[in-house]
Homo-oligomer: A and B are copies of this chain.
């Protein structure tokens, strides 16, 4: 790809959504902080206990990448969100701020596929919390992705 095309790809997208004016107007109407809702709409909590949350979701068309499977950025965001929620299950008054997120991508999840997301606390101390999040295909149990999320919990004091 020549350098001009790289620029166009980043600024205009992969050409799958060609009508830029339409995109811009769609985006102009979006409320503040809509990002979380954009990701989580359709997420269902199947199980919750102190230290563990299991959710499920049917991969929605809006979260697909150019290869037509669940976007890696959406997966990383779910590591952030479900990984934050599980910290609340042990009575933490707030989930703190993110220090580090990592994700390994192991398999593709295609549109309308049912996936299961399990978040598990590895450690919650006074200052640092670490959570593991695993994505699996609901039908087969095959692992789609695995990540960890490190948070600084004592945000009232200075990080």
A residues touching B (Cβ–Cβ < 8 Å)?
Answer: 1, 3, 5-7, 9-11, 13-14, 16-17, 23-24, 26-27, 29-41, 43-45, 48-50, 53, 55, 61-68, 71-74, 76-78, 80-82, 85-86, 88-89, 91-93, 97-108, 122-123, 125-128, 130, 132, 143, 146, 148, 150, 152, 154, 157-159
Contact = CB atoms under 8 A, between A and B. Distances in A.
Contacts of A108: 97
Copies held by the complex: 4
Q: Label chain A's interface by main secondary structure.
A: mixed
A26 B37 CA distance: 10
Contact of A48 (B3, B23, B63): B3
A106 B11 CA distance: 26
